[in-house]
Homo-oligomer: A and B are copies of this chain.
Amino acid sequence: MLIVQKFGGSSVADAERINHVAGIIADTYCEGHSVVVVLSAQGDTTDDLIAKAREINSSPSKREMDVLLSTGEQITVALVAMALEKLGLPVISLTGWQIGMNTDSNHSDAKIKDVDTERIKRELDARRIVLVAGFQGINKYDDITTLGRGGSDTTAVAIASVLHADVCQKYTDEEGVYTADPRFVPNAKKLDEITYDEMLELASLGTQVLSNRSVELAKRYGVNLEVLSSYVRAPGTKVKEVVKKVEETKISGIAKDTNVARIAVVGLPDEPGIAFKLFRSMAHAKINVDLIIQSMSRNGTNDISFTVAENDLEAAHAAIAEQQDSIDFEHLDVDRDVAKVSIVGSGMITSSGIASLMFEALSDAKINIKMISTSEIKVSVLIDVKEADNAVSAIHARFF
C-alpha cells in the first residue's frame, strides 16, 4: 500500500517525541508499505518565529513572514530524517519547493494549484521513506508561500490525492474522532467511521482533529482519511464518502467553538442590496462570516447578526463602521463572550426531533440560546461562552 502519514507539531516537539514518531514510520515502512510523511513545525517553533518577527516589525509583509515560518517545517523534516537514519532506514526529506507544491500567490493563506509528483515518485521507487515539509509551497515566481491554518493537513491530503495513496493517516493526540471533545466530556465515544460531510461540519465547528480545508480536499478527490493516535496502537476513525451504520445513530458528534464573536448590525434599511454591501465589505477584508441571521422587518428596518472568528472581530467591526454612510445602519452591537455549540449528523434533516432534543437539553440545563442556525447535517447554537462546556455535556448526555 501507499500510505501518507501526517504528524502535527506536538508529535515532534522534542527528541523523544521525534524518536517515537520515527518508530511509527519505521513500522509502517517495514510492513512493506511505501510511506510519505508530512510533518509540521515542532511545538512552539512557529510561535517563537512569529515573536522574533514582531520584535523587529509589528506588521511584516506576508511574503517575508512565509520565508521565515517555512523554516519550521524544514527543521522538522531534517530532524525526523536523522532519527530514521539512526534506525538504518533509507529516508529523504523534501521541502515544499522540492516537491513542486505549486500554489497561488496569496501569501500566508495560499491555495494549492498542483503538485509535481515526479520527485516523490522517484524517491518512493528507490524505496526511500519520503518526508515532506508541510504547510509550505511556492508560487509561480518561485517565492515561498504558506498554506495558512491547518496547512500541513492540507499538504498531506493533496499529496495523498496526487499520488493516489491508499490512505492518508492523520496522527493526533486523540484516538480518533469522538462524539464530543474527550478532554471535556469523559464519556465521549470514539466513532469508527464518519462521512466527509459530517467531518467537515465538525472540523468547521471547532473540533481541531482535522482542518476544514483538508477534509474538503479529501472529499473532492475521494482521499480515504483516517484519524488515529500517535500514542495508542489502535484503529482510529475512518473518514469516507458513505458510512455503514450498524445502528441509526442520530448524531455523529458535538462540537464547541469559543473562537467566535457576534456582531449585530442594528437598524438597517429594509431594501435590496443591503446584505450584499455588508458582506462584500467582509469579503474584501478576507473575513470569514459564519452564522448569519436576519431578523424580520420592523418599522422598515432590519437587524442582521452574524458571527466571525474572535480574532477577526476588530477588522470586521472597522470594515462595517467604514461603510456606515453607504449602508445607513443605526449602530453596531458586539458580543465577544459567546461560544458556538453544534451537533452534527448526516441523518439530521430526516429526524425533525433532533433539533428540539438539543434545545430541550439546553433548556433543562438553563442555558440561554442567542442564535440558532441549521443546515442539512448540523444544528448550531450561539450561547454564553461560560456555558459552553455545560452545554456540550448536557447535549452529549441527551444523545448518547
A305 within 8 A of B: no
In the assembled complex, how far is the CB of residue A117 from the closest CB belonging to chain B, in whole angstroms?
Answer: 15
Q: Which of B15, B56, B144 contacts A82 (CB 8 A)?
A: B56
Q: Is A77 an interface residue (CB 8 A)?
A: yes
A326 interfacial contact with B, CB 8 Å? no
- 8 Å CB contact of A79 from B53, B61, B83: B53
How many copies of this chain does one complex carry? 2
Given A56-B18, A142-B119, verify A79-B86 contact (CB < 8 Å). no
Residues of chain A in range 4-24 having any CB-CB distance to chain B below 8 Å = 15, 18-19
Instruction: Mark A46-62 against chain B: 1 for CB-CB distance below 8 A, else 0.
Output: 00010011011100110
Chain A contacts with B in 121-153, Cβ cutoff 8 A: 142-144
Q: Quick one: closest B residue to A55, CB to CB?
A: B15
Contact with B along A78-115 (1 / 0, CB 8 A): 11011101100000110101100000000000000000
New contact pairs (9) apart from A57-B86, A67-B74, A67-B95, CB-CB < 8 Å: A53-B78, A56-B86, A60-B82, A65-B78, A67-B81, A68-B74, A68-B82, A70-B74, A71-B74
A75 within 8 A of B: yes
Q: Which of A52, A63, A65 has the most CB of B within 10 A?
A: A52
**0/1 per residue, A138-177, Cβ < 8 Å to B?**
0000111000000000000000000000000000000000
The list of the 7 closest CB pairs from A to B, nearest first, reads A68-B78, A71-B71, A60-B82, A57-B82, A67-B78, A15-B55, A57-B86
**Count of chain A residues with a beta carbon within 8 Å of a chain B beta carbon:** 37
**A64 at the A/B interface (Cβ < 8 Å)?**
yes
Residue of B nearest to A66 (CB): B78
Cα separation A350 to B34 with both chains bound (whole Å): 69
Report chain B residues within 8 Å CB of A63.
92
Please give, as numbers and ranges, the residues of chain B lying within 8 Å of A143 by CB-CB distance.
98
Would A60 and B75 count as touching, CB distance under 8 A?
Answer: no
B-facing mask of A22-52, CB < 8 A → 1, else 0? 0000000000000000000000000001001
With A56-B15, A75-B71, A142-B119: A82-B97 Cβ-Cβ less than 8 Å: no
What is the bound-complex CA distance between A78 and B71, given in angstroms? 10
CB distance from A358 to the nearest CB of B (A): 47
Given known A-B contacts A71-B74, A74-B71, A85-B61, A79 and B56 have beta carbons under 8 A apart: yes
**A333-387: which have CB < 8 Å to B?**
none
- Complex contacts, A71 vs chain B, CB 8 Å: 71, 74-75
A74 contacts across to B, CB distance below 8 A: 67-68, 70-71, 74
On whether the beta carbons of A75 and B57 are closer than 8 Å, the reply is no
A77 to B83, CA, bound (A): 29
- The answer to whether B56 and A142 have CB atoms under 8 Å apart is no
> Given A56-B18, A83-B56, do A68 and B64 touch, yes or no (CB 8 Å)?
no
Within 8 Å CB of A82, what residues of B? 53, 56-57, 60-61, 64-65, 68
Chain B residues with CB below 8 A from A52, complex form: 15, 75, 79
Give the distance to chain B from A130, nearest Cβ to Cβ, in Å: 13
